[in-house]
Structure 1
Amino acid sequence: MIKVFLVEDEQLLLNGLAALLHSLDTELEITGYAYDGQEAWEMIPKNPPDMLITDIRMPGMTGLELIELVTAAYPDVLPIIISGYADFEYARTSLRLNVYDYLLKPLIPNEVKRTIANGAEEIENRKKQNIDDYFRNIFPISPKTRNVPAGLQNINCFRIAYICIGPILSEDCLGILDAIPHFKDQAAAGAHDLFPEAQCWVVPGKYANEYIIILGFPSSLSDASEESLSQLWEKIYLLIPNTTMVVSCPLDGSNHILEEIMNLRTFLKQHITSDIPHTSYYEYETKNLADQMKEYMVSNYNRPISLNDLSEHFHYSIGYLCSVFRAAYQVAPLRYLNQIRIANAKYLLSDQNRDTLLKDVSTLVGFTDPFYFSRLFKKETGMSPSEYRRNALNAE
C-alpha cells in the first residue's frame, strides 16, 4: 500500500484529486491532507507518506518550501507538485529539489492518473531496490548461505521470525554478546533439515542480541508444511533460554520484507515491555487485533475516523495497523470503513427510511464532506445518492 498526502488550498480541487486517486486500480491510501504547507508540515511527521502531492503556491509556506523540508527529513518521499500555467517556469525549476513530476491546472484526469500511476511504480521500484541492497549487504555475513539468487524473483512466499535473546535493547543501551556463538548455524541447519527446497538466511537484527530468520519458498505452503514450520519455530525457540520470538504471516513476494521486519520488532518490543509470555506468534496475535479494528469501525462508522484515530486507539503505528488489517481481510482499513458507510447509506436511502433527509445521509454515516460522499457513493453503486433513493421509491 502506497501512502499519499495531499496539500491543496482549494477545497474543490482537493476533493476532485482525492476522488481521482480513489478511482485508480493502484493500491493507494490517502493518509492525510492539508490546506496549506504549514499545516502539512505539522501533520506529516506523525505518519510520513510515500508520495506527497502539493500545490506550488499557497498562503504562508509554499509547496516548494514544504517539499524542501519534507525531503530533507524523509528522503524516500516522492514529491509531485500542482501548478497553474503562470507558474510553469517556476514549477520547472522545482525539479532541482528532486520533484518527481508536476501537474498543470486545470487538472486533466487522464494526466493525473498517468502521473500518479508512474509515481507509484517508481516508489515500488525504489522499495524493491532497497530490499535488494539489504540482501546484498546481509548475505556475506549469513552462515553457509546456499544458492543465493541474484534477485528474489524465484521466491514466491516468505516467512520471517524476529528473535530477541534477553532484554530488548534501546538506543541508549550497549549491545551484548551473542548468547550462543553457533546459534545462526544451528537455526539455518534446522531449517534446511525440514525444508531442503527453501532458502534460509539468518541475519543480524537491530542489536547484537537480535536475529532475523528469513525463509523463502518457491510456492505457498501446504497445511503439512505449516505444521513443520511450527515445529521449526519451536525448535529454534528452545535453542536459547530467555528468548522471545515473533513470527510473521506469509508474505507473497519480497516487496514488504523490510516493512515486515520493522513491524515485527515493534511488536516484539511491545510484548516484552508488557510482560506478555515469551513465545508470541504474529499471525495469531494480529488476527485478534484485526478483528478488534473491524469491530471498532463497525461500531463507530458514523463518526469521522482517520488512521491517526486508529493508531491512538489501538496504540500501534499506522503502518503496522494497515499491514495487520490487510493481512487478515485483504483490504485497507479506510477502504473497509468506506464499504461499511456506503452499505449503511444505501439502507438510509431505501424506502424504509424515506423520512431521512437526503442532505443528512452523508453526516449520518460518518462523512464530513458531502461532495466526497456523493462521488464515492456513485463510484461504488453506479448512481448518485438522489438517483439511488429515487429508484428505491419507484420500486415500491
Structure 2
Amino acid sequence: MYRVFLVEDEQLIRIGIKELIQWEEYGFKFVGEAADGELAWPLIQKEKPDIVITDIRMPFMDGLSLSRLIKKELPDTLIIILSGYDDFNYAKKAIEIGVSQYLLKPLSKDQLVEVLLDLKKKKDKLQQSEQYRNQFSKEVQEYLSSSRRSLFDLLVSGKTPIPQILERAEIIGINLTAMTYNLVLLMLEEDLLHSNYTASSATIQDQIEQIFAGEPNIIPFGAGIELTAFLIQSDDDSIEQTTQRCAQALEQLCHSAEQAPQWTVVTGNPVPRLSSIPECYRLARKKLYRTLTYPTSSPQTHTQTKSVLDFNLNDLDASKMDQQIIRKFLTNGVLEDAEAFTEDYFNSIGSTGLNSTLFRHYVLLNIQFTVNAFWDGLSLEGHTPGGLPQLQQKLETAISSLPNMQQYVVELFQETIRYRDSVVTDRYREMMAKVLDYIEENYSDPEIGLNKVARVANVSATHFSTIFSQQTGKTFVEYLTETRMKNARELLRCTGKSSSEIARAVGYNDPHYFSFLFKKVNGLSPRDYRNGKGEK
C-alpha cells in the first residue's frame, strides 16, 4: 500500500478528505496530517510518505515551500497541490518544483480518488522498473563475479591460448591490453575447517570493489575462497608505482578493519606479456607462503650455514621449527606449493644441522607430530588419508639422507592437503545439501536472497557465492530462478491457478515481472506455455 500524508489548514476540508475516502480499499494507507507546512515537515521526514496532498496557501509555511523541501529530501515522493486560485504563476512554480498534480478547489471525492489512482499506476510502474533493475543488477553482479573467477583460472593456468583469453575478457568488459603486467595477492587467513568467515573478512572483501572502482589499471579477481588477486596493468615506467599503490591500499584497508583477521599482502615481479602471468602467479604464491611462514623476516633471509664440525643444537633458532608455521601452510596452502614450501622450510633450518642423522630424526618427528595433530583436527568420520600407509612405509628410509627426508616431507604435505581438500569438499557438500533443501522449501518467499541463504549456511555472502558457484556450476540467482521456474511450469500445467497466483506461489510479488522472467527463461509466456504452444 502507498502511504498518503495530508497538509491542509482548513479543518473541515482536512477531516472531509481524511474520512470520506476509503483509503485501504483503493490501495492506500493514510499515515498523517498537519495544519500547515511547518508542522507537516518533521512528520513527513519521519513517515516518508509516497504521496503528499497539500494546500498551496497556508500560514507559517505554504505548500510550494513545503514541496521544495520534499523534492529535495524525498525526491521519489509524489505531490498533489490543492489550490483555491486559478493562478498561472502558482501552477508554473508547482511544475518547476516537480509537483505531480495541481488541482483546483472545490473538488469532489471522485476527482481526488481518480488522481490518486493515476499516481498509484505511476508508482506501480516505477516500482516495477526498480524491481527489474535490482534483479538485473543482482544477476549481473553474480555473473561477473563468477566469470571473473573463471577468467583468472584461465589466465594463470597457462593452458589457454591468449586470443581466447582476450575474447573471454572482452565479453565481461575487461581490457587486458597493456605494456607490462604484475600481480598483487591478498590472503585473508581463515581456518576453513573450524571457523566461519568473520564479519570483518566479509567487509574487507565487499570494500575491495569500491576501492578500486576508479582504477582501470587494477583489476580484482577472486582467486579462491581465501585469496584475492589483483592484476596490475601499466607501462614499464609506472608498473612499480601502480603495484605499490594497490598493495598500500589493501594494507590500509586491512589495518582499519575492526577485529581484522590475519592477512598478508605480497607483490609479484612485473612481466612483459600476458603469457608470462602463470609464472608471475607461481612466484607470487611462493613469496606469499614464504611470508606466511616467516612473517618476521625477509623471504630471502635464511639461517647462515655452518661447518658440520661446528654444529651445535644450542645455535639453532627454535622459532624456525614452530609447529604453527607448518599448520598455517597445511590450512591455507595448495598442492603445487608443497615442494617450494618444504624447500624454504628446510633452508630456514639450515643444511648443517640437517646433515646430522639425530637432528633429522628430531625435525622429522616434529613435522610428523604436527601433521598427525592436523589430521586429528579434521576428524570427519569415514575419512582417512588414502596415501598414509604407503608413506609410513617410507618413514625409516626418509631419515637416511637429507634428499630422502625432503622428498618424504613433500609427499606427506601433499597427501595431507589432498586429505584436507576432500574433508573440506565433503563439509561443503553437507552445507550445500542444507542450503539446497532450504531453497526448495523457501523459494516461494519473495525475500529469499543471497544474503539470507548465506546466513543459513553460516558464512559470509562473498564466501557463500564462491562456494555455491563451485559446487553447482551456477550462480545463486540462476539456481533460484531455475527452481522457481520449474515449479511455475508444474503449476501452469497441473492447476487452474491464474498467472498472478502462480507468480506469488513461486516468490514473485509482481506478476508482470514474473511473466517477463518466465518468457526470458522458457521462451514462451505463461499463457502460451499453459496452452501447449512451442511443443513439438
TM tier relative to shorter chain: 0.3 to 0.5
TM-score computed with the length of structure 2 as normaliser: 0.32
Which has the higher relative contact order, 1 or 2, with Cα contacts under 8 A spaced 6 or more apart? 1
**Structure with bigger gyration radius:** 2
TM-score computed with the length of structure 1 as normaliser: 0.43
Higher helix fraction: Structure 1 or Structure 2? 2
